[in-house]
Amino acid sequence: MDESLGEIGEFGLIAELTKLFPQGEHVLVGPGDDAAVLRVRTGHVVVSTDMMVEGRHFRRDWAPAADIGHRAAAANLSDINAMGGRATSLTVALAAPADLPVSWALEFAKGFADEAGLVGASVVGGDLTQADQVVVAVTVIGVCTVSPVLRSGAQVGDVVALAGRQGWAAGGLAVLGRGFRSPRVLVEAYRRPEPPYDAGGIAAEAGATAMIDVSDGLVADAGHVATASGVAIDLHRAAFEIPEPLHAVGAALGADPLQFILGGGDDHALLATFPDVASVPDGWLVVGGVGDGEGVTVDGDAFEGPSGWTHF
């Protein structure tokens, strides 16, 4: 379709979009009424929301629409993962200029729904309106079968562990920012992250004391856990495995590849604390420890690289 949003109109596009969103068994009423209706069993419902702005969180010339859809869903599903929960439902609101091609919106929606499908979540509602920039707002709802794992539970003596790829997306972003398209594996990691969706629930079952989705940057998010828990976290350089493509990008850009790992945030890895090494589940890498005090250090020293992303 080469039509624009202005040509197809709000209701026309909504009709096309909703065809792309299969509804799970727990969805009693999907998109199209004043509200969606979900069947919920007694327990803990977890809710999170995120907003992505064109030119700030994504660029239409850097990634296909489907990948931007995957990323938008992944960022939100990952927040439920970080509570130890399972996402069941998402809403997505899209603001866009009238000249946005309908095909972009449909490809975005397809990528979004496909990512949601990875964890069995349904897109149950949304909104569509006009704005100068593309803005996407997503809310995700999930359930926890065990107690949700908060940021505030880390204890002195805990070990710090990481699940999922970390630094790959930051490497890809650095490459794209300089006008390159390779190493392709890093660019793909940025365009379409692969969050470790099973890791959150497994960590919760294993007794994780605190957990967070790495989205602001590893050191920054470790800092959020340290602050919320009233503890200090030390990360150990030697613990990280630096993948070959990050070595290559580091050499090409004259950067320490560990900076991508310590400062990057777009992979949606999980960072958690556990009472001891024995309780760290398979698939998690021990990368540090929890001590008395405050803030985050790397091998005992302050981190000198970019510590994370702020929006103002």
Binding-site residue ranges: 34, 48-50, 57, 79, 126-127, 151, 213, 215-216, 266, 309
| Euclidean distance between the first and the last CA atom of the chain, given in angstroms as a whole number | 37
Q: Does 252 bind a second copy (CB under 8 A)?
A: no
Shortest approach of a second copy to residue 309 CB, angstroms? Answer: 9
Name the residue nearer to a second copy (CB basis): 113 or 186.
Answer: 113
Q: Does 74 bind a second copy (CB under 8 A)?
A: no
Shortest approach of a second copy to residue 232 CB, angstroms? Answer: 19
**CA dist 214 to 54, 146, 264, Å?**
21, 22, 8
Name the residue nearer to a second copy (CB basis): 56 or 247.
Answer: 56
Site string for a second copy, 21-40 (x = CB under 8 A): -------xx--xxxxxxxxx
Main-chain dihedrals φ then ψ at residue 221, nearest 5 degrees: -75, -35
Calpha distance 221→13 (Å, rounded): 38
Shortest approach of a second copy to residue 192 CB, angstroms? Answer: 21
Shortest approach of a second copy to residue 222 CB, angstroms? Answer: 14
* Contact (Cβ atoms closer than 8 angstroms) between residue 165 and residue 172: no
Residue set of the binding site for ATP: 126-127, 151, 215
Question: In this chain, which of 16, 44, 101, 295 binds a second copy, going by CB under 8 A?
Answer: 44
Residue set of the binding site for substrate: 57, 266, 309
Question: In this chain, which of 57, 70, 191, 192 binds a second copy, going by CB under 8 A?
Answer: 57
Per CB under 8 A, which of residues 255..274 are in contact with a second copy?
A: none
The two tokens of residue 164 are 């999922």
Question: In this chain, which of 17, 73, 89, 264 binds a second copy, going by CB under 8 A?
Answer: 89
Per CB under 8 A, which of residues 97..126 are in contact with a second copy?
A: 98, 124-126
CB atoms within 10 A of CB 34: 6
Report strand pairing: 210-213 vs 135-144.
unpaired
| Residues 6 or more apart whose Cβ sits within 8 Å of residue 119 | 77, 86, 87, 197
Q: Does 1 bind a second copy (CB under 8 A)?
A: no
- 43: phi > 0 → left, psi -120 to 50 → alpha, else beta; which? left
Calpha distance 52→70 (Å, rounded): 12
Q: Does 10 bind a second copy (CB under 8 A)?
A: yes
Question: In this chain, which of 64, 101, 118, 135 binds a second copy, going by CB under 8 A?
Answer: 135
Per CB under 8 A, which of residues 143..162 are in contact with a second copy?
A: 144, 148, 150-152
Main-chain dihedrals φ then ψ at residue 58, nearest 5 degrees: -155, 160
Name the residue nearer to a second copy (CB basis): 33 or 301.
Answer: 33
Question: In this chain, which of 71, 74, 85, 259 binds a second copy, going by CB under 8 A?
Answer: 85
DSSP state of 4: B
Tell me whether the omega of the peptide bond preceding residue 22 falls within 30 degrees of 0, making it cis: no
Calpha distance 125→88 (Å, rounded): 13
Report strand pairing: 86-96 vs 122-130.
parallel
Name the residue nearer to a second copy (CB basis): 79 or 158.
Answer: 79
